[in-house]
Structure 1
Amino acid sequence: MTANLIKQTDFDAIIIGGGACGLMCAAQAGFLGKRTLILEKNDRVGAKVLISGGGRCNYTNLYASAQQFISQNEHFCKSAFAQWTVDDTISFFNTYGIYGKEKTLGQLFPVTDKAKDIVNVFTNLCNDLDQEIWCDASVTDIEYAHGNFIITYQRYGEEKKISVPKVVVASGGLPVQKLGATDLGLRIARKFGLSVVDTAPALVPLTITGKDQPWYEQLSGNSIFCRVWNSRISFEENILFTHWGLSGPAILQISSYWKPGEDIYIDLLPNQNITTLILRERELNGKKMLLNLLASLYTRKFADALSNRLPMEKNLASLSKVDLDAINKLIHNFRVKPAGDKGYDKAEVMRGGVSTGELSSRTLEAKSIPGLYFGGECVDVTGWLGGYNFQWAWASGFVIAQGI
């Protein structure tokens, strides 16, 4: 299939990817009187926005700062967050009728609970500001010649080329393939000689295999508030037992800091001390069975599942110091050795990406390739669960718009 002749355009920039970063970039460029074209491979923009938060879209976090982001350069995102703050995000969406309600831990959702309202803000703005959006346009290659970038793309069965002075790569990361996720951003970076930090699924459930799997299977559906930690960080949120392992907010959070072969630890009763509870209850009713005490702290199903690990047949009065030490260790220092994770199709985001060392922290332009910008998930800036990654997407889109 022979590509059509290169089409010269009056666009100031082409934005590859119509996700959160690309949409914000187009809107902000429009405010500055610049014309952009979004090339989106799906049949509509904002596919990942639309499914985020169960279709409700946790669009920022009140407490977002550089501290909640993983990157080889922990300071890199500070410049973008100084230029576009959480207050800017809130004010921007308020202007267009999107008002937030806080759920847990600073997570902000639209009061309507509809992610499509977020996407509609951008599609309406692009229309009003004369920003073009071409859906079903899959970019296959990008070259640089004579001061312009030449983008090859396929649309409606035809291969075409288009020339433009500046390009914004906002094509996302590797999750979720059914939404059109590809490694395009990473391939573009490598093609232009930019280094890429090793990628991996992040904010992803962890799997358990082997002899321990049946134990997790029997607890499938049980959710418990816990503290989960490793040598680098800890989180206090719910965990969810599943037939294949562990999920829930605390597990998704720790997964971004977990590496294959490592253990993680769980405090199953983070705000109380199990030994203190047992001794206190023993004074009141020494005949009470350990099983009944644990069933009052957890579900009966979970307490029953601990029977093969603890002396559940004993009453509190008969528990020895050895018993108490064993109970304390299991409840407050429960060790888990995950076999792996559920992969990109179950991951919220991708860890790693285009090295921040290759980009200007102020503009997100490639230092060695003037006119080439990278933003959003394809950059080595990965946030926690809870709206942080959207805040990075909005901030990086805004920053890039100032320079294109």
Structure 2
Amino acid sequence: MTSTDPKDKQTGQTSRAGQPIWDAIILGAGAAGLMTAITAARRGRKVLVLDHAKKAAEKIRISGGGRCNFTNLNTTEKNFLSANPRFCISALRGFTPKDFLAMVDERRISWHEKTLGQLFCDDSAMDIITMLLDHLRAAGGTLRLDTAIKAVDKSDDLYQVATGRGTELARNVVVATGGKSIPKMGATGLGYDIAKQFGIPLQETRAALVPFIFAEAEKSWTVPLSGLSVDAVVKVGKTSFREGLLFTHRGLSGPSILQISSYWREGMPVIVDLAPGQSCLEHMTKARSDNPKQDIATALSGLLPKRLAKAICVRDGFKGPMGEQGNKILTKLDEAVHRWSVTPIGTEGYRTAEVTLGGVDTRAISSKTMEANNVSGLYFVGEVLDVTGHLGGFNFQWAWASGHAAGVAL
């Protein structure tokens, strides 16, 4: 039996054989999924959010060291990687960092700008999660956690979403399942499987914003430096970033390394400037003139941390007092400091990656609505799409913006 709610001409049929029909089922209770649900529910849509996790928005909870780098004031399309680089423009303009910040301020959540436009909660990422869940509840949306998604099918213009608790019907399905990063938190490739099922192409996926791993030969001198952090410029091809670099027991990490990892491919060298904005050659030439009896490693420690200076000198065989160092030696040392070339053997993979590069091919998706061009009522938002932001709050802004675009369209 079919019943119709005369109060809502938009939704029309509201049940089939006594089973309710949702206007939209959102798969995933992360940043993008919750924003989609809130936006649609505020427009009077009957929405259901499903997630297999026991708690909503776990990636928000752990982000930013527990304080959530929830957006970046400097967001533009240039902060994103995609095979279709202009795809993100419409959504980013439709919901800006200031729009999300207005939500945060309305809740009186205290925040601060750290560096480069990055905004963090003063207290806890839970402030953002609580805000989103409260907004969803107030708008009349329904959230069901600990609910496994078994299958998604479509017939007679209705989607059937089979779950561990039964089958739900909906006019629209929004895939907000994220990527493969951090599988211990429940990340899966479900969104990609759904795309393939409905004939939507994918761009190759790989771990991004992820630390590098070194071969044993390189680790022989870098492992003793584990925990040491320096300001650095790292470069792959024509792309470079200047931020902190951290030596680890497996290779390199830190903001600059996470950033450049999105551009790196196997076999490519990474060029590192360990003293950006300074001249090692000038520093060491002056040291030779001012204090010729000073040991070369000690002189270099005036430019670099002592442990790093000593490690470079031992690695490359630089030794003896400054007065004995010729120009060729100082030029080689300058090269070692400003143009250290290292080829990682890989990355730490999805286990520690902050995001997934690649995903649902955006050429098959409307940039204004996030709906699949050839599958009516099927939407993709957030990380599952082939839109990957730089480190620093950009991926959350993409989640808010793409979710808002889909929510308005539903």
TM-score (norm 2): 0.94
| 8 Å Cα contact 2:234-2:271 kept in structure 1 | yes
2:54 is aligned with 1:43: yes
Query: Does the CA contact (< 8 Å) of 1:311 and 1:323 recur in 2?
Result: no
What is the deviation of 1:314?
2.5
Matched, 1:195 2:206: no
**Equivalence map 1:142-181=2 (5 Å):** 142-155=152-165, 160-181=166-187
- The residue aligned with 1:115 is 125
Contact map agreement 1:39 1:137 (CA 8 A) in 2: yes
Which segments of 5 or more consecutive residues in structure 2 lack a partner in the other structure? Answer: 1-15
Q: Does 1:331 align with 2:350?
A: no
Alpha-carbon deviations, 1:182-226, whole Å to 9, x = none? Answer: 000000000000000000000000000232222121111111111
Does the CA contact (< 8 Å) of 1:221 and 1:242 recur in 2? yes
3-state SS of the aligned residue for 2:164? strand
Report what 2:45 is aligned to: 34
Amino acid at match of 1:25: T
Residue in structure 1 matching 2:225, options 219, 230, 238: 219
SS in structure 2 opposite 1:9? Answer: strand
Does the 8 A contact of 1:8 with 1:164 survive in 2?
no
Q: How far has the Cα of 1:311 moved from its partner?
A: 4.8
Deviations 1:269-317 (A, max 9, x none): 1110101111223332222221112222222221221122345422223
* 1:69 matched to 2:80: yes
Question: Which of 134, 148, 151 is the equivalent residue of 2:144?
Answer: 134
Alpha-carbon separation, structure 2, partners of 1:21 and 1:164? 19
Determine helix, strand or coil for the equivalent of 2:293. coil
State whether structure 2 residue 305 is matched by structure 1 residue 299. yes
1:310/1:326 contact within 8 Å kept: no
Measure, in 1, the Cα distance between the counterparts of 2:82 and 2:375: 22
In structure 2, the residue matched to 1:124 is: 134
Q: Which residue of 2 aligns with 1:54?
A: 65
Query: Residue 92 in 1 paired to residue 92 in 2?
Result: no
Specify the SS of the correspondent of 1:309. helix
Q: 2 CA distance for matches of 1:161 and 1:369?
A: 21
Q: Is the CA contact (8 Å cut-off) linking 1:27 and 1:131 kept in structure 2?
A: yes
Asked if 1:371 is matched to 2:382, the reply is: no
Over residues 130-172 of structure 1, what are the superposed CA-to-partner deviations in whole Å (9 max), with x where a residue is unaligned? 10000011112111100111111114xxxx1111000000001
What is the distance in 1 between the residues matched to 2:209 and 2:399? 16
Paired position in structure 2 for 1:315: 321
AA aligned to 1:39 is L
> In terms of mean alpha carbon deviation, does 221-230 or 289-298 score higher?
289-298
Distance 2:352 2:323 in 1: 46
Counterpart contact for 1:7–1:162, Cα < 8 Å:
no
In structure 2, give the amino acid aligned to 1:119: I
Greater Cα offset, 252-261 or 291-300: 291-300
- Matched residue type, 1:78: I
Provide the residue aligned with 2:251 in structure 1: 245
Q: Name the SS of the counterpart of 1:308 in structure 2.
A: helix
Q: Greater shift after overlay, 305-314 or 177-186?
A: 305-314
Residues of 2 paired with 1:30 and 1:110: CA distance?
Answer: 26
Amino acid in the other structure paired with 1:255? S
**Larger displacement relative to structure 2 (319-328 or 279-288):** 279-288
Report what 1:12 is aligned to.
23
Q: Do the aligned partners of 1:7 and 1:163 also contact (CA within 8 Å) in 2?
A: no
Instruction: Give the 3-state SS of the residue equivalent to 1:317 in structure 2.
Output: helix
Given that residues 285 and 330 in structure 2 are in contact (C-alpha distance below 8 angstroms), is that contact kept between their aligned partners in structure 1? Answer: no
Q: Once superposed, what is the RMSD of the aligned Cα atoms?
A: 1.4
| Residues 1:323 and 1:74: Cα distance change in structure 2 (over 3 Å) | same
Offset, 1:6: 8.5
Question: Is the CA contact (8 Å cut-off) linking 1:40 and 1:134 kept in structure 2?
Answer: yes
In the alignment of these two chains, the number of paired residues is 395
Change (3 A) 1:261 1:201: same
Whole-angstrom distance in 2 between the partners of 1:169 and 1:311? 56
Q: Is the 8 A contact 1:19 1:48 kept in 2?
A: yes
Asked whether the equivalents of residues 290 and 313 of structure 1 are also in contact (C-alpha less than 8 Å), the reply is yes
Matched, 1:80 2:86: no
* Aligned-partner SS, 2:69: coil
TM-score in terms of structure 1 length: 0.95
Stretch of structure 1 that moved more, 276-285 or 344-353: 276-285
Q: For 1:137, give the aligned amino acid.
A: T
Q: Shift in Å at residue 41 of structure 1? A: 0.6
Where 2:351 maps in the other structure, the secondary structure is coil
1:356 counterpart residue number: 362
SS of 2:301's partner is helix
Partner of residue 402 from structure 2, selected from 361, 381, 396 = 396
Which stretch shows the higher mean deviation, 136-145 or 296-305? 296-305
Point out where structure 1 has 5 or more consecutive residues left out of the alignment: none
Please give the alpha-carbon distance, in whole angstroms, between the structure 2 residues aligned to 1:212 and 1:351: 27
